[in-house]
Each structure stands twice: as structure tokens, then as C-alpha cells.
Amino acid sequence: MFSRLRWHLPAALLALVPVLLLSWTVIAVYAASPSPSGSPGASPSGSPGANLPGDPVKGQQLFGANSCASCHGSSLGGGVGPKLAPIQKLSGVTDPKDPNYIKTTIHTGRPGTPDGFGANMPSFPQLSDKDLSDLAAYILQQQTAPHTLGPVELARSNVFWVSFGIGVLCLLTYLLARYNMRWIDRRAVARRERERLR
């Protein structure tokens, strides 16, 4: 009986850890994925782009042509500048999703803020009002579109999961060490008892 228990507990613990890790991963992926009803990417009226101030396709081209990705990331995940998908609320900004605020910020620029973005955002006075509307439309469309992780978010996610995995392995090692020490103690007591009875 004792010999069976000796390997059942470590085996159960070893089987439990991958199951927990897989469950948490599935939950995280499911939570991040868009749901079919009210799916991200569809505007409230049901047709993509119905409430947008301009053409998001042209806005995406302008985003690339004006090197916006160098500060805000190719997937709008942020970097030197704040995240644009989902758009990051900065201090002093009432509604960061207001098309007029987005257009004004692109056109006139913005000074650095204490939110961790000390660099000034440059102005783009050469862009027409239509260009600004298209850029705002692209940024606003990305608020409801399904997103892949940007480089910064991916790195943070990797650090979290690696740290979590190391923590779980340390806990498992500690539990197995405690169990083995008890088993060694019991064997030593049993051996001493047998020697005493001889």
C-alpha cells in the first residue's frame, strides 16, 4: 500500500501541472478572442465603417507612409508612443476616441506627458482634412478589430508565462522534496524498528 502511494502522489502532481497550464492558456486565448455576436470589427450599425469619419483603408496606407508605426507600432501596440489599439487614455484627455481629438492631435502634434511618453508627438500639417479623417477612421476601426499581440505585448506575455511556469516548477519541486523527505524518514524509522526487533 505504502509503495503504491509512494509514486501515486508525484505522478498526480506531475499530471496536474500541465492540465492547469493548458486550462489557463485556453481561458486566456478564449477571453482575448472576439465573440461572434457583437463581434469586434463590426460597428454598432452592423456594417464596418458606417460611423467612421473617413476611409480606414486609405488611413492605413497613410499610417504606413507617414512612419506612424515607428512610434506607435505596426500593429498599433505602442512603443515610443502610446498604444492606439486599444487607444490609450492619456492625462488631460477626456475622450481619446473622439475623431476631432485624433485629427487635431495628428495635425498639430502633442507634447510629452507624464504617462511615460516623454517624447513629443510631431505635427503633420501637410496632411489634408480628408487625410486626417482617413487616419482617424483607421485608428477608430482598430478599436473594435481583433488584434494580434504586438512585440511589446508579446514580450510581456512571454515573460509572464515563463515566470509563471518557473514558479509552478519551484512549487512542484518543493512539494516533491517534502514528500520524499517524509518517505525517507519513514523508511529510516521502519529500518530502525526492524533492527530493534532482531
> pLDDT digits over 103-150, tens only?
999 999 888 777 666 678 889 999 999 999 999 999 998 887 565 555
Q: Indicate the range of 35-44, 68-77, 97-106, 162-171 predicted with least confidence.
A: 35-44
- Identify the burial level of 170 via C-beta atoms within 10 angstroms of its C-beta, where 0-12 means exposed, 13-18 middle and 19 or more buried: exposed
Higher pLDDT, 45 or 134: 134
Q: What is the mean pLDDT of the chain?
A: 76
- Identify the burial level of 6 via C-beta atoms within 10 angstroms of its C-beta, where 0-12 means exposed, 13-18 middle and 19 or more buried: middle
Grid cell, residue 83, equals 498604444
Residue 99 confidence (pLDDT): 92
- Identify the burial level of 42 via C-beta atoms within 10 angstroms of its C-beta, where 0-12 means exposed, 13-18 middle and 19 or more buried: middle
CA 196/CA 198 separation, integer angstroms:
6
Quickly state the pLDDT bin for 100 (edges 50, 70, 90).
Answer: very high
Higher pLDDT, 99 or 89: 99
Quickly state the pLDDT bin for 42 (edges 50, 70, 90).
Answer: very low
Per-residue pLDDT at 56 exceeds 80? yes
Grid cell, residue 174, equals 518543493
Higher pLDDT, 30 or 129: 129
CA 31/CA 88 separation, integer angstroms:
20
